Structure 1
Amino acid sequence: MRYIILLTILLSASPVFASYSSWATPTMVSIVLDRGFRIDGQFGNPNSCEKSDIIFVSKEHPQYDQLYSAALAAFTSGNRISLEIRKCGNVGWISDKTINFLDASSPGELRSIK
């Protein structure tokens, strides 16, 4: 009986798995009002959100300044980047569909290659 209960608990748990965007060169980096910034490029859709190729980073993300600087550096230099994305979110002034989203609870891993 204990094994059945343990198996039920393990199967019902919903672990959060990291998904990485495709490696891409940003085609646009823009601040969106006072809410955060968006990065456009051929990043794909790592979380199967409703809209692909846009990543939004909320102003509340603890590494907002570092992520913004890295995104601008990649845009300026033409380097490719990949971001760890764990959720979809709705940012109404960008799209009425969900997009890949980083907020205060998201990790801040951004990888860059030339």
Structure 2
Amino acid sequence: MRWNPYAAECPTRQLLDRIADKWAVLVLGLLEPGPQRFNALRRRIEGISQKMLTQTLRSLEADGLITRRAFATVPVTVEYQLTPLGRSLNSVLDPLREWAEANMSRVHKAREKRGAVDGK
């Protein structure tokens, strides 16, 4: 089967929505070095709510990009890690994150010129 993201009903659009989501991109980047616990992720991603992190992790797991592993401790300890599919996606996202860091000053200057410093 050949997928066509330009077709309105193609499921690749859902996948593109997932990987274009800022929270997903940040979570995947933090999982690159190895497994992370929920609270460690939450502490490192400033501005993400517990609810949004939970939703993001569930979606990434449903798409096969990460795995969730629970340990029988009190309270239960849960770790998340990349799957091979998630690692392959990170190899594409790493240059995107690096591009954003390298070019944010230029984008900010362009926004200032247009009077849109807040990103609108």
Shorter-chain TM-score: which interval?
under 0.3
More strand by share: 1
Q: If each structure's helix is expressed as a fraction of its own residues, which one has the higher value?
A: 2
TM-score of the superposition, structure 1-length normalised? Answer: 0.25
Which of structures 1 and 2 has the larger relative contact order (alpha carbons within 8 angstroms, sep 6+)? 1
